[in-house]
Each structure stands twice: as C-alpha cells, then as structure tokens.
Amino acid sequence: MSESAMRLRPAVWPVHFHVPAAHVSSLWAELAAIVLLAPLFLYAAWWNGFPFMFFDSGAYVLEGFRRFFVPERSPVYSLFLDYAHGRQSLWFVAWAQSAMTAFVIVEFARALWPRTSLWMLLRVGAALSVLTSVAWFAGQIEPDCFTAVFILAFYPLAFKLKQVGVVRSILLVAVAGLAIACHPSHLGTAAGLVLCLALVWIPTFVWRQRKFPRPNVFVPLLCFLTGLGLVLGANYSLVRKVPEIKEKVFVSRSGPFFLTARLMGDGVVKKTLYDLCPSRPTMVLCPYKDHLSRTADNFLWGPESPFNKIGRFYGPKDEYELIVRHSLTHYPLQSLLPGLWGSVRQYFMVRTGDGVEPQVWVLRDLFYGFMPKQRLAYMDAHQQRGKIHFGAVNVVHVPLAFLAQAWLGWVLWKALKRRRWNLATLPAFVFVALLGNAMVCGLFSGPHDRYQSRVAWVPVLVVLLTARSSVERALRSPVS
C-alpha cells in the first residue's frame, strides 16, 4: 500500500468502555448483592403466602406490641418486632431478617474472597435458598434466624478485620450485637466463641516462631457486650413497673426454670426434692415430687403439668436455683452426662421444619387483637392449612449439611497436616460454632431439630464459596 493511500485510510483507534467490576470488592456490586439476595431468602415465605409462625411467635408478639414482660422470651426480639413495624405487617420483619442475613453473607464473602463475583454470589444464594434451611428461618417470626448471622459476622471481625474496614466493622458489630441479644442461647454461644478466640490468641505470644494466626478478640468481645447490654436494657425497660419481680436488671429470669426442666427429664430433680423437702416442706414442687413430668417439654408446656399451678415462669426463681445447685453439687455425673449426651444428639439433629405446622389455635386471638388486617392472609397461608410437608425437603437438606461438614473436616485435616494454620482457621471456627450451639442448647434446654438446623447451612455456604475455586485451581495446575 502506498504512503498516500495509507494517509487517506481512516485511523482505527481502539475504543475502551469502562465497565465496573462485578466483584463484591466494588461498592456497587456489594450493594447489589445485598439487595438481590434478600428476596431470594424469602422465597419459601412467598410460597407460603405469609411469614412462618412458631409456637413462640405469639409470646414475642404479645411482649413486643403490648410491652408485657414474658419471662421465657427474649425482650430484644419482641421489641424488634415492634420497631420493624410488625404490627402493620409481619412481612416488614421478614424483610429485615432476610436483609441482615444477606448483609453478613456478602461481608463474609467480601472479606475472605474479594474477587467473588456478583453472579457467583447470587448463584450461591439461590442454591442456599433451595438446598438448605436458610429460607425457612429468614422468613419465620422467630429469633432462630439470627444464630448464623452473628456466627458469620464473628469470623471476618476476628481474622479479616483489615479487609472489613472501619465502616463495615461498625455495621457488623451492630448487626451481630442485635443478633446475639435476640435469644438467650446466643449469649452462651457467643461467649464460648470469644473464649475460644482468646485461647487461640495466647499461643501467638508463647510460640511466636510458629506464626500462628492472631485473631482480634476485642471486636468480637464488643459484639458480645453490645448484645449483653441490649438484653439488660430491654429487661429493665419491661420489668421496672412490675412489682412482682424484684430484680430489675438481669440477663434471663427463665434460665433456672429451663435447666430444672431438663434435669427433671433426666431424673435428678426427684432425688433433689427428696433431699430438700424434709427441711423445706414449703417448696412449691414438694407436693409434686412423686408425680413429676418425664420430659422437659411436658413439664414446661404440657396442659396437665404442675408447672401451670405454681406460677409458671413467675414462680419462685430462688427455689429453682436451689434445685439446680443441689442437683449439680450432689449428683454431678447424673446431671451433666445426660446433658452432654443431649449435646451430641443435638449436633446431629438438623432436620428442617421443626415446629412449622398449623398454629391457628395458638395465635388466632393475637391476630384479632393486634393484627386484624393480617388475619386473613395468615389463615390462608399453606402453613395454617396444613399443606407443608418436609419429607422431600429433608431428603436434600440433611445429607447436604453433613456432606458439607465432611468436606470442611477434610480441608481442616489437610491444613493441620501441612501446618498451614491460616487455612485451618475457617473450618475450625465453623466446627467450634456448630459444637458450641449444640452444647448450649443440649445442656440447658434439650435437643430439638430447629436448634441445629438454624446453623446447618453455614458449612454449606463456606463449601459453595470455596469448593468451585479449589476445583478450578486443581484443573489448571500442571500435571507432573
């Protein structure tokens, strides 16, 4: 081509269009992930036609809307229902729970794997909604949805604080603190996690040459203290005008009652009453020492239980505390071993749907009194018509929960074998959280499927976020 022709030919300049990165490390993708994940976690509630209700939901509604102290229920979650405008629509509560769940999942992924794409995170969210229990808890008017929330918030705050940043750390502390305060068992699990983080922190000063990961203990502790402060403040605000209750600042008034019921199911309370009643014949349980309930649930919730005749949770707390102390000091093995066995059973009880059944007879009057405009939608939901069955659901949910734990166990074993302590922190943290939740619930309340099912989706989330990239790296690596 001649020089003149080349001068006459139009120049073709490369045109570059700036396309924002679709990774959660960018702010727009981070916000988009939260906004798009929240409705995914409500798909089960949308299908039901109304947020799922539990036996305890009515007590939370009564306590929150009427400001009536219910000793066996968390006042923080009850007030959360009111402040989230549950009186106008319980969908507002479900949306708030789902949004907080989506927020901690996105921040968890962003802190650990900043190159996680928006589309991958949405696929992970969709898989979680269908294959795990997350959607059945996010859309339920019950504080169980918050157990996994503070667990997922703890890990980046402890091990990835620099990646989280100041603003996100403040938001995570606020969300985790609220989540911890929403159920008494959360306080126990969170305290156990903080203690374990402190135990991991100590060897970093003893064996500095080993380069153990050094977790941040202060920020998770701040989450726990925030939750504890919310519990103390909420209890005080509800009982300060109740003359029957002399204690105005306390963590939980119902703890001794639940623990007595658990020990009663183990046969310890009967022996304790035979020891105490000769010298203390006025104790409220003495007349019933030969007719005690055989299980904790029958004692606490059975219609013919003597618990109903002696004031229920407004009964003499000091007598129940005495029963617990005497049982633990005089019959330690018989008190603790069944509780530990209950914790083991609790760990493997992960079936979805525990308690999701028709609640018409339990909650109908509350809807008439507090939420009349929502009554028709509530009555027309699949749950109230008895159309929800979890057989097919648990065929998927239960095996997947244990397969994910098996995968994490293999990853943990390989990391420990190779002494790659940083890689071992995440699977180890997940297992400690699962064990802590099982121990707190098994020791203090007794095993129920919903307690472990509420956290069974956490290992699945970790595997879905890591397994694909691990497989891709293995396929790209050269074959020797």
pLDDT confidence of 468, banded at 50, 70, 90? low
Amino acid 207: pLDDT: 65
- Cα atoms in the 13 Å half-sphere on the side-chain side of 396: 13
Amino acid 85: pLDDT: 93
Evaluate if residue 291 carries a pLDDT over 80: yes
Residues in the chain: 480
Q: Which of the pair, 214 or 51, is modelled with greater confidence?
A: 51
DSSP, residue by residue, 20-55:
---BTTSHHHHHHHHHHHHHHTTHHHHHHTS-B--T
Question: What's the pLDDT tens digit per position in 149-189?
Answer: 999 999 999 999 998 999 999 999 999 999 999 999 999 99
Least confident of 156-170, 273-287, 423-437: 273-287
Least confident of 212-221, 362-371, 454-463: 362-371
Both structure tokens of 459: 């290992």
Provide the residue ranges of all domains of the chain, joining segments of one domain with +: 27-247+351-389, 255-330
- Which residues pair with residue 23 across a beta bridge? 117
Q: Which of the pair, 113 or 473, is modelled with greater confidence?
A: 113
Enumerate long-range contacts of 159-168, CB under 8 Å, 24 or more apart: 159/213, 159/215, 159/216, 159/425, 159/426, 159/429, 160/111, 160/112, 161/216, 161/219, 163/110, 163/111, 163/112, 163/114, 164/107, 164/111, 168/107
pLDDT confidence of 104, banded at 50, 70, 90? very high
How wide is the angle at C-alpha 440 spanned by C-alphas 251 and 426, nearest 5°?
A: 110
The DSSP symbol for 242 reads -
Amino acid 370: pLDDT: 85
Mean pLDDT, rounded, for 371-399: 91
Amino acid 209: pLDDT: 57
Mean pLDDT, rounded, for 183-212: 84
Evaluate if residue 425 carries a pLDDT over 70: yes
Mean pLDDT, rounded, for 36-57: 93
Tell me the C-alpha distance between 213 and 205, whole Å: 11
3-class SS at 117?
strand
Please, what is the average pLDDT of the chain?
A: 87
* Ramachandran region, residue 404 (left: φ > 0; alpha: ψ -120 to 50; beta: rest): alpha
Question: What's the pLDDT tens digit per position in 341-383?
Answer: 989 999 999 999 998 888 877 777 788 888 888 989 999 999 9
Name, of 234-248, 298-312, 354-368, 404-418, the range with top average pLDDT.
404-418
* Angle between the N-to-C axes of helices 166-181 and 147-159, in degrees from 0 to 180, rounded to the nearest 10: 150
* Angle between the N-to-C axes of helices 218-239 and 184-201, in degrees from 0 to 180, rounded to the nearest 10: 160
Q: Which pTM does this prediction carry?
A: 0.88
Name, of 252-256, 322-326, 418-422, 434-438, the range with top average pLDDT.
434-438
Amino acid 261: pLDDT: 87
Amino acid 475: pLDDT: 36
Dihedral (Cα; 350, 293, 182, 42), 10-degree rounding: 40
Neighbours of 480 (CB within 10 A): 3
Tell me the C-alpha distance between 120 and 464, whole Å: 10
Evaluate if residue 280 carries a pLDDT over 90: no
Amino acid 9: pLDDT: 46
Amino acid 477: pLDDT: 41
Provide, rounded to the nearest whole percent, the portion of the chain with pLDDT above 70: 92
Q: Which of the pair, 211 or 129, is modelled with greater confidence?
A: 129
Both structure tokens of 302: 């059975």
The DSSP symbol for 278 reads T
Amino acid 368: pLDDT: 80
User: Are 69 and 60 in contact, with CB atoms under 8 Å apart?
Assistant: no
pLDDT confidence of 115, banded at 50, 70, 90? confident
Amino acid 469: pLDDT: 54
Evaluate if residue 471 carries a pLDDT over 60: no
- Where do runs of H (alpha helix) occur along 113-217? 118-131, 134-138, 147-159, 161-164, 166-181, 184-201, 203-206
